[in-house]
Amino acid sequence: MSETAARGILTSLRQSDVDPITRLMGRQAFIACLEDRVARARREVVRFGVAIVDLDEFKKFNLSHGLTCGDAALRGVAEQLVRTNSTPRADAARYDGNAFAMLLESASAEELSRSAHALHGAVAKFRTTEGLALSASIGVAHARIGETAEAILMRAEQTLYLAKQFGRNRVEISASAAPLRVDGSVVALRRSA
């Protein structure tokens, strides 16, 4: 998607669909865009993935440095993520308080992995105006033809939870419909900051 088309999409969104801090679309607008992308993928057999980038221990960051610094960090990280893969702003969203969701074009699992690791590196290189560093855990799901938007997001979220549980500051990529243990049982996951 061209930058001009991306600006057009963001311009056409209602004010409530755009996050006031990052100027990215919000969660519900992202889900609508994801549903459109799923429909297009079915028609055109286009491969893509979804990455959820969650800033590690951001509540502590806000408590230590204040909300103004936190908001500035969110803006800066959002810009860094959009620039990293030349991702149109219309393919990126503030997913929740300290998490971003991104649609990633990818013809292969290797390409998706490179994109996800580039996003991880972009957060690692980012510094606030005060020189403070952040880290991120990233969960990625490669969309499957015929899979619903909800299923893709669920896999990306579950994979993000694995990244958090395995120690944060890492990338995990979904290889199955649900994260599995070595014995084949489904891992029970919950999100932690």
List the CATH number of the domain containing 89: 3.30.70.270
Residue 54 lies in a domain: yes
Residue 112 lies in a domain: yes
Mean pLDDT, to the nearest integer, of 169-181?
A: 69
Residue 88 lies in a domain: yes
Q: What is the pLDDT of residues 104-130, one digit of tens each?
A: 988 788 899 999 999 999 999 999 999
Mean pLDDT, to the nearest integer, of 59-64?
A: 94
Residue 79 lies in a domain: yes
99 near 78, Cβ under 8 Å?
Answer: no
Exposure of 105 by Cβ count < 10 A (0-12 exposed, 13-18 middle, 19+ buried)?
Answer: middle
Q: Considering only 5-9, 62-66, 91-95, 178-182, which range has the smallest mean pLDDT?
A: 178-182
Q: Considering only 30-34, 85-89, 147-151, 166-170, which range has the smallest mean pLDDT?
A: 85-89
Sign, CA dihedral 17-10-15-193, equals: positive
Q: pLDDT-derived band of residue 177, with 50, 70 and 90 as boundaries? A: very low
Q: Is pLDDT above 70 for 154?
A: yes
Q: Is pLDDT above 50 for 180?
A: no
Structural domain total, the chain: 1
Domain range for 16 is 3-173
Residue 182 lies in a domain: no
Residue 40 lies in a domain: yes
pLDDT for position 51: 96
pLDDT for position 14: 64
* Residue 99 β-bridge partners: 54, 96
Phi-psi map region of 184: left, alpha, beta (phi>0 left; psi -120 to 50 alpha): left
Mean pLDDT, to the nearest integer, of 138-155?
A: 92
pLDDT for position 16: 65
Residue 191 lies in a domain: no
pLDDT for position 185: 46
Residue 163 lies in a domain: yes
For residues 89 and 92, give the distance between their C-alpha atoms in angstroms, rounded to a whole number: 5
For residues 157 and 94, give the distance between their C-alpha atoms in angstroms, rounded to a whole number: 14
pLDDT for position 106: 83
pTM of the model: 0.82
pLDDT for position 1: 45
Q: Is 154 helix (H, G, I), strand (E, B) or coil?
A: helix
